[in-house]
Structure formats: C-alpha cells, structure tokens
Amino acid sequence: MMDEWTLHPLIPDDVDLDIARITSELERVTKNGVLSEKILTLQEIYSRCYEYLELAVCITWKDKKDPMGKQLAGKAEELMGRYKQIESEVKQECRQLADEEWSLLADSEELVSLRPVLSTWRLPSPGSYELEADGLHAWAELYGMASEQVKPRWKGKEVPLGEAVRLVYYSNDRPSRIEFFKEWTKEWEKVSHWCAKALNHISGFRISRGEDPVHSAYETNRITEQTVNGMWDSVLERKGMFNDFLHHKLVLQGEENLHWTDQFAPLPLQTEFGTIPYEEAKILIGNLIGAFSEDAGRFVQHAFNHKWVDAAPSRHKVVSAFCAHFPNARQTRVMMSYEGDLQSVSVLAHELGHAYHYHLLEDHPMFLQDCPQAFTEIASTLFESILIEEAMKSASPMEKMHLLDQQISRDIGTILNSYVRHRFEEQLYENRRMGEVDARGMNT
C-alpha cells in the first residue's frame, strides 16, 4: 500500500479564529512606530500566511473538488493580500529613510541577518503587489478550471487528465502517441481563449505600471540581465548536442522526422526495469541518497516515516507533483502519483530534494528561506542526478541506456524548455505593448 500523508498536525483547531488573530496582528503593525519591530513582526506573520497558502494547496491538489480546500484558499489569499499591502507600506518607509539612517537600521543587531532581503526593499516599487498577486492566484485558479475542461477521447473513451499526460509524454507507442497528441491539442484549443485572455490581463497590468516586467523578474530572482544572457548564450552554443541526441533517438525509432512528443518519450528498446514497487523505490532512493550524504539520507527516511509523502494515484488529484513547505512546523509535504515506472522514481526523488532544500533552510530567518525560483530547483535536480548516477554504477548496459535517456531528456526539458519559455515571455510583452494578443498570436 502506498503512502498517504497526514495533514492534521498542520491544521489549527479553529482556522477562522487563528486567521482573525493574524489579521489583528497585521493591523497592529500599522500602529507600531518602531520600524525594526515592524519588520520583525512582519517576518513572523509572513511565515504563518505562507503556511496557510501551502495548506490550501495541499488540500485542493489532493482533491480538486474538496470544499474545505477552496474555502481555505480564498481565506489564505485574502490574508496574504492584506499582508502584502502592509509590507508595501513598510517598504515605503524604508525607501524614505536617508542613507545614513538606513545603514544604521539594516546593520543593527536585530536586522543584520536580513540585510540581503532588506536591501531589495529600498528599490523603487509601484506599490501594487497585492493586485498582481491576486491576479496571479486568479490565473492559477483559471488554469485549473480550464484543465478540467480538457477532455480528450481515445479509442471511444474519455481519457482522464493524468492518463492523458502520460500518453502524450511517456507512451512508447509512437503512432498512437502522435495521434493522441492531435486530440490533446484540439481539446486545449477549446479553452485557449480563456488562457490568452488571462495572460493579456496580467501582462497588460504589469506594462501599465510603467515597468519592464522582464527586468522586474530579474530583480525578483536576484539575478542580473548579463548573467541570464550569458547563460542563454551558453545554452545556444551547446544545443547541438541535444539535437544530436534527439536525432539519434529518432534513428532508433526508424523514423525520419522529429515530433514534439519525441523529446520526452522512452527509448524504443526493451527495458529491463519492469515495474518498480513503491516500497522498493523508497528503499532505492533512501540508499542512493544516503550513500551521497548521510544527512540527506536520514532526512529522506524521516520524511517517509512521518507520513510526509502522498504517493497513491487518484483521479481526484491534480496531475502535477509538488512539495509544500511549513516553516513554523519545520515540516514539508510531498505529493505525486506513483505509477511504478522509472519516471515515477525520479519524480519522487525530485520532490524529496525540494523537501531537503527546505530542511536545510529551517534555521534561517523566514525572509531568507523564501528563495527565488531560480534557486529552488538546485537540490531537487541534485537528488535526481544522484539517483541516476548511482543507479548507473550497478546497471546493465541496457539499463544504462534508459537511465542516460531519462537524464538527457530531463536536461532538455530543463535547459532548452527554459530558454523557450523565456523567449515566449519576452515576445509576449513586446507584442502586448502594441495591443491585445489573441491565442493564435501566442501560438506563433
């Protein structure tokens, strides 16, 4: 039987009363005349608001129709919106300080550990983060609603979303995969106008504030444009090796032309792995990660022993895997749908890598734990790499081929896909400045 997590230790006895208390504490921040105390109080409140958002995600992604999850999500988003309003006011206070006053504040004993974050609070800001955050939460909810309307059919039957994703990405039957991809695309085209409308509103809102959204993303991720451009230059210089890999994979399939789904599909060679039972996967991950780092291995075992993982497949679950962080409880929760294949083992290792990343940050102030997305994939990618490289040491030649295929396919998804997404975003903002961009325009 596969693991299912327990959320009860993370849910307050009276959620409404607890949220009311947090809201009252937020309002008291506005009346506090000591800026250093405001900042420290905000940090403590932020961790609690953050946990409510994570809890709502856990409940709604476990069961998309759970009424408790939807209610909690609304309350958590409202609470975080109010937090961001007050945080914006405190940032404005920081910007109004003279340089000497600011240095004294930021270098004080109470706040010196937060200086890497507080230094960004002095940067110019439109002061409307709460509106943007609300818009992005709405986009996530709309995308979820749109996904539920995508109902492709195959061989006379409606295909559940999770199974549809596996058919498109991981089926080793190429003709069926390509044919089903056409049905998948047609279904998404039916809701494409919803997605395009939402992206137009979000991008238009950002542009209307007079900022450069792409450069704002650099600041948010604490990275410079020069670094990003250097990274993309390196990717483009070396993309030929990925093209060679895909074309060689195509030769093995006896085909001449690449299809979009070929980049993720398994090798057209008989695998020796077969089905990997969940309990074996847990032991495999624990042993391999433990061989690399005793501390990481102990953490993985702790996560399994304390029911932090939910791996049982369910038609009620959201398709994506994720890891939720609860900084005050010093706990995490991992959700996925384990299917017994090598890909599932890799996904489980990946999400446990996220959990270990949060574990390493537990002793740091909350503002420092909230890392930019550019950093959050490091530990998870490391866990995947450890799993594959350690497994290859004892693998047969055929097993090594499948492991290498999975590793390179993952790198294509991470490296080349990231570049394509970056270019899409740049082009979207460029076109949006000239007017609304319809779904057809976003697809070209």
CA 200 to chain centre: 22
Cβ neighbour number for residue 77 with a 10 Å cutoff: 20
User: How many whole angstroms separate alpha carbon 290 and alpha carbon 299?
Assistant: 9
User: How many whole angstroms separate alpha carbon 78 and alpha carbon 69?
Assistant: 14
Q: Is residue 118 within 8 Å of residue 87, measured between CB atoms?
A: no
Sign of CA dihedral 113, 117, 122, 127: negative
pLDDT of residue 253: 82
Give the DSSP letter of residue 155: T
- Two tokens at 300? 């993985």
Q: How far is CA 192 from CA 134, 161, 263, 369, in A?
A: 21, 17, 24, 36
Helices H / strands E in the chain, number of each: 19, 5
> What CATH class is the domain 227-443?
mainly alpha
Q: Is residue 165 within 8 Å of residue 175, measured between CB atoms?
A: no
User: How many whole angstroms separate alpha carbon 3 and alpha carbon 20?
Assistant: 34
Name the phi and psi angles at 193, rounded to 5. Answer: -65, -30
Strand bridging mode 153-154 / 157-158: antiparallel
- Two tokens at 374? 């550019």
Name the phi and psi angles at 269, rounded to 5. Answer: -130, 150
Of 310, 320, 313, 377, whose CA–CA distance to 350 is shortest? 377
Q: Delimit the domains of the chain by residue range.
A: 227-443
Of 57, 44, 49, 58, whose CA–CA distance to 76 is shortest? 49
Q: 371-428 pLDDT, tens per residue?
A: 877 788 889 999 999 988 888 888 888 888 888 888 888 888 888 888 999 999 999 9
Half-sphere exposure of 241 (CA within 13 A, CB side): 10
Of 15, 20, 26, whose CA–CA distance to 68 is shortest? 15
Cα-Cα end-to-end distance for the chain: 46
pTM: 0.84
Burial tier of 54 (Cβ tally within 10 Å: 0-12, 13-18, 19+): buried
Q: Name the stretches of the chain with pLDDT < 50.
A: 126-131
Q: In angstroms, what is the C-alpha Rg of the chain?
A: 24
For 67, the 3-state DSSP assignment is helix
Q: 127-153 pLDDT, tens per residue?
A: 444 445 555 556 666 777 777 788 899
Strands (E), 77-164: 153-154, 157-158
∠ CA(207), CA(212), CA(217), 5° rounding? 110
User: How many whole angstroms separate alpha carbon 293 and alpha carbon 431?
Assistant: 48
Name the phi and psi angles at 245, rounded to 5. Answer: -60, -45
For 315, the 3-state DSSP assignment is coil
Q: Is residue 304 within 8 Å of residue 279, measured between CB atoms?
A: no
Cβ neighbour number for residue 110 with a 10 Å cutoff: 11
* Residue tagged 């993370």 (tokens): 10
pLDDT of residue 186: 93
User: How many whole angstroms separate alpha carbon 240 and alpha carbon 107?
Assistant: 49
Strand bridging mode 331-335 / 322-326: antiparallel
* Residue tagged 């939402």 (tokens): 198
For 179, the 3-state DSSP assignment is helix
pLDDT of residue 128: 47
User: How many whole angstroms separate alpha carbon 226 and alpha carbon 229?
Assistant: 5
Of 80, 83, 76, 84, whose CA–CA distance to 26 is shortest? 83
Cβ neighbour number for residue 346 with a 10 Å cutoff: 21
